[in-house]
Amino acid sequence: MASKQSTVERILDAAEIEFGAHGFVETSLRTITSKAGVNLAAVNYHFGSKKGLIQAVADRFFEPLSAGMMTRLQELNQQSLGHHEALVKFYQGMMLELLSIARRNPSRLALFARLLNSAYSQGQGHLRKHLTHQYAPVFMLLMQTMAAHMPSMSHEQFFWRFHHLLGMMIFTLASSESLTDICAAEYDAERSLPEVVQQLVPVLVAAAEAPVEAIDRLV
């Protein structure tokens, strides 16, 4: 018995790595089962289909993340902080929660972000719907908490600001290798993961607090 893990776990482990590295569409079930050392048919047996596997991989990320975020948000909302302090604590909590994903394996964070990016940009509408239905409560609480401490904004303005902030987080975590490739010659980027993630907090807070109409209209 060379394999201590079950077939399901070995598939999930291999799928997570391959999906994160090459995206959903460009990763074949044959690659996954081959790297996992299991039979090809095992995926369809245990997960029903490739879509089912994708959702299972995503759930393994989101379940602990969702739980941690939920308690963190509830704690934050019980305290009565000023808006700025609340935003700082909010983003710090988010980053810490994200870092907990990467505790065992540092590259898991990039995998997670790329997975999220694929869910939104690649044709994976089923994943998007699955996630938004499955984790709607955390998502709602997250947006409400965030909006509560950005009081000068209208719903519309907050919507787009949220959009910008989410993009910054996802893209940063997702594609650090690509940018490292480009700039490696001129700018060395050798910081550890916690440092990089940490650097995001003040940027996120500043972006969240940026004035809405401070700049003249362009057109």
Q: At residue 138, what is the residue type?
A: V
Q: At residue 51, what is the residue type?
A: K
Q: Give the separation between CA 218 and CA 24, rounded to whole angstroms.
A: 39
Query: 6 is in the binding site of which of DNA, its own copies, none (Cβ under 5 to 8 A by kind)?
Result: DNA
45 binds its own copies (CB under 8 A): no
Give the nearer residue to its own copies in terms of CB position, either 10 or 172: 172
Q: Give the separation between CA 174 and CA 171, rounded to whole angstroms.
A: 5
Both structure tokens of 39: 């039979």
Give the nearer residue to its own copies in terms of CB position, either 23 or 52: 23
Long-range contacts of 121-129 (CB under 8 A, 24+ apart): 122/23, 122/24, 122/25, 123/25, 124/24, 124/54, 126/51, 126/54, 126/55, 127/51, 127/54, 127/55, 127/58
Backbone angle region of 23, left / alpha / beta, with phi > 0 → left and psi within -120 to 50 → alpha: left
Query: 202 is in the binding site of which of its own copies, DNA, none (Cβ under 5 to 8 A by kind)?
Result: its own copies
Q: Which of 8, 23, 35, 83 binds its own copies (CB under 8 A)?
A: 23
Q: Say if residues 132 and 42 touch (Cβ distance below 8 Å).
A: no
Q: Which of residues 161-190 bind its own copies (CB under 8 A)?
A: 161-172, 174-176, 178-179, 181-183, 186-190
Both structure tokens of 210: 């940026």
159 binds DNA (CB under 7 A): no
**Number of residues near DNA (by CB under 7 A):** 19
Rounded to a whole number of angstroms, the minimum distance from the CB of residue 152 to its own copies is 13
Give the nearer residue to DNA in terms of CB position, either 44 or 100: 44
Q: Which of residues 34-63 bind DNA (CB under 7 A)?
A: 38-46, 49-51
85 binds its own copies (CB under 8 A): no
82 binds its own copies (CB under 8 A): no
31 binds its own copies (CB under 8 A): no
Give the nearer residue to DNA in terms of CB position, either 50 or 83: 50
Q: Kind and range of the H or E element at 38?
A: none
203 binds its own copies (CB under 8 A): yes
Rg from Cα positions in the chain: 19
202 binds its own copies (CB under 8 A): yes
- Contact residues for DNA (CB under 7 A)? 6-7, 27-31, 38-46, 49-51
